[in-house]
Amino acid sequence: MTRLAELRLYRIDMPLVRPFRTSFGTQDTRDVLLLQAITNDGISGWAECVAMEWPGYSYEYVDGAVDVLAEHLIPAAVADGTIDPHVVHRRMSRLMGHPMAKAALETAVLDAWLRTEQRSLADYLGAVRTEVDCGVSVGIPVDESIDSLLEEVSGYVDAGYRRIKLKIQPGWDVQAVRAVRETWPDIPLQTDANQAYTRDDGPVLAAMDPYDLLLVEQPLPEDDLLGHALLAQQISTPVCLDESIISVATADTAIAFKAASIINIKPGRVGGYLESREIHDLCLERGVPVWCGGMLETGVGRAANVALAALPGFTLPGDTSASSRYYAVDITPPFVLDDGRLRVPTGPGIGVEPVPAILDELTTWSAVIDVANP
């Protein structure tokens, strides 16, 4: 009988090709936490924890994720060696919070299970496409120069990306949107505020309505569903929720309150791909478009996100960019843009795994946890 034998944790240092600045901070490297779930048959499942190095985007951070995995989630969910991801999901639900750490453990087990079944994640989730349209997220230029912004966007347009997303914050919003829209009148364009505005900023957000935006993403604090519902009545640009959506229940509430007409599904934020599929199914039933957000993932996380983005309800291009958008060298064989799209992996599980030599070179810390004695 196949069972989980051990879990390995790796921290790797991944420099970004350029600094990525948002309303909550700037990143020039990623401290990435990877999980490897190894069965007694020698099959490995892989996953990536998307927690950042510091609690800026979320209360979760890498050091905390390592601790909660080793001390709580792994003992609670897989101490008996189960590789049934549904069992793991149910057991972890008894513990509060930490969706990014939970998503990583669930995905590593799910990947191992699917590899034993010789079944792809895309097939398991219900994918209907063999390739997905790709958008790209453009950070706030470090020098806050419109020229720098246009130069960066021009490179992505030339590369074939099918949608541009601009990070915005108070003082860097209308002028940036205007410049990009005037330069590329027909490119699908949206904005992402990462909670940077308040209810009093309705007029500023309304000032971007004339620029034909696909959506404005998470303009207000994540706990302000009422504020988003009120804002949706003040502006013509569709409101999309990101950080507010942490489960199928919060998605249901947001839709019922008319706080969002579009939803960004981030598997790490909602606790994994099982919950992501539930949110997708709810939105598909309610006629609410969804798209797959990104967290600067390596090829491990990107592969799983591309599989998710191939489901039928993902009708808008996501942040599933090519590997080269963030990394000069990825830890897996790189994802390469082809006519603005990425191919959905078809191999067992997530369909990719780290290149051993690259993983060894970039690893800064690792640990082995025997699940029989975590």
The phi and psi torsions of 365 (rounded to 5 degrees) equal: -165, 145
- Catalytic pick among 102, 165, 167, 258: 167
Q: Please name which of 268, 270, 267, 261 lies closest in space to residue 290, comparing C-alpha atoms.
A: 261
**In a 10 Å sphere around its CB, with 0-12 CB exposed, 13-18 middle and 19+ buried, how is residue 208 labelled?**
buried
Both tokens of 53, joined, read: 């190095």
**How far apart are the C-alpha atoms of 97 and 353, rounded to whole Å?**
28
**How far apart are the C-alpha atoms of 329 and 30, rounded to whole Å?**
13
> What are the Cα distances from residue 88, in Å, to 71, 149, 254, 372?
16, 44, 27, 15
Both tokens of 120, joined, read: 């792809």
**In a 10 Å sphere around its CB, with 0-12 CB exposed, 13-18 middle and 19+ buried, how is residue 42 labelled?**
exposed
**Cα–Cα–Cα angle for 43, 269, 57, rounded to 5 degrees:** 120
**How far apart are the C-alpha atoms of 159 and 139, rounded to whole Å?**
17
Positive or negative, the CA dihedral 120, 121, 127, 130 is negative
| Number of continuous H segments (helices) and E segments (strands) in the chain | 14, 13
Q: Please name which of 196, 201, 176, 157 lies closest in space to residue 337, comparing C-alpha atoms.
A: 157
Q: Please name which of 26, 111, 10 lies closest in space to residue 345, comparing C-alpha atoms.
A: 111
Q: Is 258 a catalytic residue?
A: no
The radius of gyration of the chain from alpha carbons, rounded to an integer in Å, stands at 20
Q: How long, in residues, is the chain?
A: 374
What single-letter amino acid sits at 58?
S
**How far apart are the C-alpha atoms of 298 and 306, rounded to whole Å?**
12
CA 319 from centre of chain: 8
Residues tagged active-site: 167, 266
